Amino acid sequence: MALIEVKNLYKEYVNEEVVTPVLHDLNFKIEKGEFVAIMGPSGSGKSTLMHILGFLDKLTRGTYKFNGRDVSTLSDDELADMRSSAVGFIFQAFNLLPRTTILENVMLPLVYTKIANGERIRLAKAALESVGLSHRLTYSPNQLSGGEKQRAAIARALVNNPDIIFADEPTGNLDSKSGLQVMRILQKLNSKGHTIILVTHERYTAEHAKRILRIKDGGIVADEAVKNQQLADGVDELIK
């Protein structure tokens, strides 16, 4: 059974009876443990697709099954539970809370769980250690470099041990060295069995994945394996 199965997916936005089509007739599967890049230019629909796959938005028609469950049948509360337990998100803008420590930021996905506070702290510390930030637990986000902020965001995405990690333009605000560090972390996580979906407009970044879904004007124009995967070597010391 595929982790993600999409059939005849359409997404439209309606505003004062004006219908704006965004996605049309998408069909694909993503297996557990894959590293897939969704690539396309601005306005192609790739971020909208990620929001649907990550339970942040709903499709207009068609079918989306996650671990065999038809997502369209889930209530808002069930969708919220899926967001908190099954997926982790990494965003271009980091989305870290400025007035809390890095440790507290990473603990945020655990706030609404039944996990005891002591265990939340342990899990957050372990996640930060896995991305090389054990020495930054008490720092605030404005004390970190851009690369460190994104690594903290990756730790936050990992802390609830999700089924899948969505990375939306994760290197967009970073210099090339920090961007390679982030891609190396994602590749290392994938090698350990994590399913990764990377959203990007850059072919070079997409080629760090193992498969590329190319989207243009709301439709899939190619679904291909990466023949010469880019390997972001040289920063293994960051990864535990």
* Residue pLDDT tens, the chain, 240 long: 899 999 999 999 998 889 999 999 999 999 999 999 999 998 999 999 999 999 999 999 999 999 999 999 999 889 888 888 889 999 888 899 999 999 999 999 988 788 899 999 999 999 999 899 999 999 999 999 999 999 999 999 999 989 899 999 998 888 888 889 889 999 999 999 999 999 999 999 999 999 999 999 999 999 999 998 988 875 444 444
Q: Give the bridge partners for 211, in sequence order.
A: 36, 225
Identify which of 138, 59, 52, 149 has the alpha carbon closest to the alpha carbon of residue 95: 149
Could you tell me if 55 and 87 are in contact, meaning their C-beta atoms sit under 8 angstroms apart? Answer: yes
pLDDT at 190: 93
pLDDT at 239: 46
H or E stretch covering 93:
none
Could you tell me if 164 and 195 are in contact, meaning their C-beta atoms sit under 8 angstroms apart? Answer: yes
Rounded distance, CA 163 to CA 215, Å? 24
The two structure tokens encoding residue 196:
């990764």
**Which 8-state DSSP code applies to residue 92?**
T
Compute the Cα dihedral for 72, 74, 76, 82 and give only its sign.
negative
pLDDT at 112: 76
207 CB-near residues (< 8 Å, 6+ apart): 37, 226, 228, 229, 230
pLDDT at 106: 95
pLDDT at 23: 97
User: What global pTM score does this model have?
Assistant: 0.90
Identify which of 182, 227, 198 has the alpha carbon closest to the alpha carbon of residue 88: 198
Q: Backbone dihedral region of 80: left (phi > 0), alpha (psi from -120 to 50 degrees) or beta?
A: alpha
53 CB-near residues (< 8 Å, 6+ apart): 4, 6, 64, 166, 197
